[in-house]
A and B are shown apart, each in its own frame.
Chain A
Amino acid sequence: MKISSLSCVASLLALGMTASAAPPAPVPALIPEPTKQEAPSDKAVYRLWHDVQGRTVDATFRGIEGENVFLQTKDGYVYRLPFNRLVPEDLAVAKKLKPEGLGIPADPNVARAAQKIDEIVAIGLKSAKQEPNALANDEQFVRRVYLDLVGRIPTREETMTFLADTSASKRAKIIDKLVSSDGFNSRMFDYFSDMLRITDDAQKAKFFTYEEWFKDQLRLNRPWDKIVYDMITADGKLLDGGASGYLLRDKGMRLDNLSLTLSTFMGANVACAQCHDHPFADWTQRQFYEMASFFGETDTYKSKSSGGNKGAYGNLRKELTPEELKKSKKLFLANALTITDGDKNDVKLPDDYKYKDGNPGDPILPKLVMWTAEDKKLPIYAMADAALKNGDSKEDLRETFGKWMTSPQNPRFAMTIANRLWKLMFGVAVKEPVSDLDNIEGSSNPMLLTHLAEEMKRLKFDIRAYMRLLCNTQAYQREAITKEIVAGEPYYFPGPILRRMSSEQAWDSCVTLAIGDKVDEYKLKRAESYASVMKLSDQITADEIRSKLASMGRTMSKNAGAGKNAKNSKRKMMTNEEVEVDQTHPAVLDGLVLARASELQQPEKENHFLRMFGQSDRQISDSESDEGSIPQVLMLMNGEAQSVLRNQRSLVLSTSMSMKTPEQQVESLYYSFFSRKPSAVELTDAMAALSSGLTVSDLTWVLFNSREFIFVQ
């Protein structure tokens, strides 16, 4: 008897298979997702499966999990069939077959949340009369998901392990593994340091404590709202606590800092309102100053040489030599980086204020902005009002602002980070640019934008959980779009777009090719030693200054360590070249420090691979560039990175060379660079080249210089 897939439910139940049309409420662990999934693509292989009672079903193989075989019929339903129900021949086939499509989800709750997103994406696509792309194959998926979640390509081993895994939930599992790995923290640090303009050097001091504080937040997976709240409300010296680095990065530039805060964290396009009423948006200059007034009692600027120790400095003037005084300037500058709150609000309307609702020099009281008239009904506004009225409350203005900004009730805070991280994964945001969410309706899919914001809140601003969710959607797991994307035209997410690797992804991938998955072992640590050397006591003496100056010299040369650019550190490193790596020592090959971008200088020197490949100089938010240039191509063809990969000790070359036949050598390189097998034609071409004068090392150069390497599909 043959059963039609359209009327099979009852028969399948009789067979001992389970299926259901609607998603049931809580799903017990290990019971497969019973909801309807994307129907397998036309290319999927269907076959007739036989049960022990002689019945058949036409379905594709989705995988094996536990003692169950998962099959999917053409209408999209996924069925679980215990081993002992299948005839032995079919069970044997199942054990050999490669699973089709997405596999089965590991966590039914994530699966359902992902499906909800997919449904909303589908609505958007339908409204534009577009079809979704086919699902990406495992090779495309594994390379993309490694790059997106841990910021580097998978090693050959990692790829082969994934491809060979027959588990039906392997995609979900690799996502879970990657989001909770060290590499994820590096990836997110790279992203946020571009967004927040994190630099080693600012305000004539080092911002190491800020960098390491931020890395700690990522490592501990602290929720985004908590991280941002801490940055906005931090007090005290930068040397004591890194969170103050956010405000001190723009020391004495309160208005510029606020403009970034509003656009970066809430997508409020207010920058123009700093100088005049916004010409298109609704923001007025007065509103901008009312927001600035929340920072009006906060001082990030201390007289540069006093460091809060003006008296002490005056006395030292007599005791120290002019040379010592000059050198100690650095010490005082570093100690002067501090945030204090007073009780006097000094925000006033600017001298050229030209609107009728105020006069130049008028003091301005703090007032929160709203996006719609409805916003004022939100309890968070009432809470902020109450705090502002209660003059003797312990809560300072920044705390009121921070609570409002990072609240789930804030109309834009969750949406902004949700939209940003979506862009990180898909290459395009639901609403572009990410710094302007004033008009939600102007996005390609407003329902999706709103839903993602709700998901961010439901997940309590857990960045890992949110990224995990996005990766589990079919929208993410589809093939990249092959058509030209026209700037300014709405994108409905038939799949991610083709992206050039970020500078950090490209560099970290090179490091991975050279040293493999040890790439995450080395961690740059500079904050503790810098703070201990630089920090002055309250009762500073001339002797203390002299001893500080002596230890400053020692620490500075040590701190240069891993961050130093290849050229400068070449001489020093040649003598103790080391491919071995541990927590405190990076791998070094050909004089090149092989550490993650997150563990190098922030940003790197201009002539480092990272900068030539587009790393932001961290002056302007989100300014990483994906554009090519002639110097960049020269570097790819002739620079240190290609040369390191062709060193006999690099993992990619030594692995390939260890293979017995030329075919295997070519295949090994293909897995290392592209996470896939070469096609028959590619294999033939590569073999022909190898027998006519090119070496495996030359082939390494060729794959490194291919577009397929630097683009993510």
Chain B
Amino acid sequence: MNISLLKLDPVSRRVFVERLAKTTLGVTVLPTVLRAEDEVKTDNAALPGFGKAKSVIWLQMIGGMTHIDTLDPKTGETKGPKDAIATKAGYQLGGYLPKLAELQSDKLTIIRSMSSKTGVHAAGQYVMRTGYELRGTIKHPNLGAWAQSTLGVRNKSLPSSVCINRNSDHGNGFFSAAFSPIPILDPDSGLQYAKMESSPEITDKRLTLLNKLDSGFRAKFQDLNLKNYTDFYDDTLKLLGSEDLKVFKLDEEPEALRELYGSNKFGQGCMLARRLVEKGVRFIEVSHGGWDMHNDIDDAMEEHGTTIDTAISALIGDLEARGLLSSTMIVLCSEFGRTPKINSRSGRDHYPKVFSTMLAGGGIKGGFVYGSSDKEGAEVADKQVSIQDFHSIVGHGMGMNIDQVVMAPNGRPFTVGDKGKVITDVFA
């Protein structure tokens, strides 16, 4: 018979978990709050917007989001299949984003002068997630891991960062596995198997035996991944004792609200992100594929443009209604933009030279456009922003000292945003 841990009263659950922790040998239990020189004055701390974003919802579009058909519409030769639409904030958005235009445009900052050098997917996604170029010799952390290391965790029993609709790579980087985001590949299923399938007594005995029988093997190999696994078992047992596990169950939400986000993995992922923010999870990535629109961009935009328009509008509205928008930054980004010229297959190809990103909430200015591309959407016309600058903006908003140097295990120094600049104009 299976007895759910969730059914135990809080006290027995805590005792149970403590006992588990004791029986789990050879495990480094990280302190729940890690602070590194938090008294140090940072140069960026005095700038506007510092630390307003208690949580970040990072929406990463996979495949290279076309800037001209979304955030930076054009009228000339490079115009997309759909006409741009006016927003209530005054600027224009691509024709596939009517809800954002009508409902939320006054809460957004659009950056239209992003530029990068990486026009291939894997390397582009890496640099957008970490702020560093992909190298064979070291893994760099994403902002969620940076925040956990410098700001600590906000909820003691839930993980500090979660990534939805993707695996946990490009996560902890050179930090330990405890800084790795918890991956939720399917938001509808949430966190599966979060119920011990044996009674606490039996589980206790099993784990005691496991640690005894496996100790020789664990001691023999000085392998980081092996050690990480042992840590993951410990973290998992800790999580199982959390009273907040229900946060992963989307079926607790009213059906109507779920539909408002859109009945797809991205929409439901955004809703799960909101639930996690409510519980104090600091960094949540929701990714959404399908943006590699080399062919037939109109069809593809109908599908994916509509998906994000619906989900992000609902997310902003929902956060606002709960009073969480001022403390939650929403970030929309992609590894690069797409060619201004429509190709012979009615699609657009990779284009890192200029593209757009979007920010909202958590101290970000509303109804604001920063920087611009030229009239074709082919070059940065004004105020170029690098991916490192972008990371610095978000890191600053989260309250991190972007000048603080952290030494990686290989002895090399790293900072949040790789020495990018905080662009204070985007903060209210």
Contact = CB atoms under 8 A, between A and B. Distances in A.
Interface of A: 251-253, 255-256, 259, 271-272, 274-276, 279, 301, 304, 346, 350-352, 432-433, 436, 480, 482-488, 497-498, 500, 606-607, 611-612, 614, 617, 619-621, 623, 625-635, 637-639, 642-643, 679, 682, 685-686, 689, 692-694, 698-699, 701-703, 705-708, 710-711, 713
B228 A637 contact: no
Contacts of A256: 120, 292, 294, 350
B8 interface: no
A637 B195 CA distance: 9
Contact of A626 (B221, B225, B378): B225
B229 to A, nearest CB: 5
B225 A500 contact: yes
B232 A693 contact: no
Q: List the 7 closest pairs (A to B, CB-CB), nearest first.
A: A488-B137, A275-B119, A606-B185, A638-B193, A708-B217, A706-B214, A634-B193
23 contacts: A253-B292, A276-B119, A436-B136, A484-B223, A487-B137, A487-B139, A497-B223, A623-B122, A625-B167, A627-B180, A630-B236, A634-B193, A634-B240, A685-B213, A694-B202, A698-B205, A698-B209, A702-B210, A706-B217, A707-B217, A707-B226, A710-B229, A713-B221
Interface centre among B183, B223, B228, B292, by most A CB within 10 Å?
B223
A236 B177 CA distance: 48
A377 to B, nearest CB: 31
Q: Is the interface of A mostly helix, strand, loop or mixed?
A: loop
A468 to B, nearest CB: 28
Given A432-B136, A488-B138, A632 B205 contact: no
B314 interface: no
Interface stretch (B85-93, B341-349, B361-369): B341-349
Contact of A276 (B117, B123, B232, B233): B117
Given A625-B167, A701-B206, A707 B186 contact: no
Interface in B290-333: 292, 294-296
Contact of A630 (B159, B217, B340): B159
Contacts of A497: 223
B137 A698 contact: no
Given A253-B294, A611-B185, A637-B196, A352 B213 contact: no
A134 to B, nearest CB: 13
B148 to A, nearest CB: 14
B14 interface: no
Contact of A304 (B201, B235, B236, B296): B296
Contact of B232 (A487, A623, A632, A682): A632
A692 B216 CA distance: 22
A605 to B, nearest CB: 8
Contacts of A631: 182-185, 191-193
Contacts of B62: 619
A659 to B, nearest CB: 18
A256 B338 CA distance: 13
Contacts of B118: 272
B109 interface: no
Contacts of B410: 486-488
B28 interface: no
Contact of B136 (A488, A619, A682): A488
Q: Is the interface of B mostly helix, strand, loop or mixed?
A: loop
B353 A352 contact: yes
A579 B292 CA distance: 43
B413 interface: no
Contacts of A276: 117, 119
Contact of A607 (B185, B201, B220, B289): B185
A276 to B, nearest CB: 7
Given A484-B222, A620-B122, A637 B232 contact: no
Nearest to B218: A707
B197 interface: yes
Given A432-B136, A433-B136, A487-B138, A692 B347 contact: no
Contact of A711 (B226, B235, B340, B347): B226
A252 B213 contact: no
Contact of B229 (A623, A628, A638): A628
Contacts of A304: 295-296
A271 B193 contact: no
Nearest to A678: B213
B381 to A, nearest CB: 15
B417 interface: no
B256 interface: no
B191 to A, nearest CB: 6
A132 to B, nearest CB: 17
A625 B229 contact: no
Nearest to B78: A351
Nearest to B189: A607
A628 B198 contact: no
Given A637-B196, A637-B236, A698 B353 contact: no
Contact of A498 (B184, B186, B210, B223): B223
A483 to B, nearest CB: 5
Contacts of B222: 482-484
A275 B339 CA distance: 11
Contacts of B192: 607, 631, 634-635, 639
Given A694-B206, A702-B206, 9 more contacts: A352-B353, A487-B138, A629-B168, A633-B233, A634-B191, A634-B192, A694-B209, A698-B209, A708-B214
Contacts of A498: 221, 223, 226
A408 B180 CA distance: 44
Contact of B347 (A252, A259, A606, A607): A252
B345 A275 contact: no
Nearest to A694: B205
A628 B182 contact: no
B232 A274 contact: no
B103 interface: no
Contacts of A693: 201-202, 205
A283 to B, nearest CB: 13
B121 interface: yes
B141 interface: no
A275 B116 CA distance: 11
A607 B186 contact: yes
B169 A625 contact: yes
Interface centre among A350, A711, A713, by most B CB within 10 Å?
A711
A97 B226 CA distance: 35
Nearest to A643: B197
B350 A274 contact: yes
A264 to B, nearest CB: 12
A41 to B, nearest CB: 17
B223 A685 contact: no
Contacts of B209: 685-686, 689, 694, 698-699, 702
Given A352-B378, A482-B222, A637-B236, A630 B136 contact: no
Nearest to A485: B223
B120 A689 contact: no
B242 to A, nearest CB: 11
Interface centre among A255, A634, A679, A692, by most B CB within 10 Å?
A634
B224 interface: yes
Interface centre among A629, A699, A702, by most B CB within 10 Å?
A629
A482 B205 contact: no
A354 to B, nearest CB: 10
Interface in B234-250: 235-236, 239-240
Contacts of A642: 197
A162 B275 CA distance: 54
A617 B120 CA distance: 17
B175 to A, nearest CB: 13
B147 to A, nearest CB: 18
A295 to B, nearest CB: 14
Interface centre among B139, B183, B344, by most A CB within 10 Å?
B183
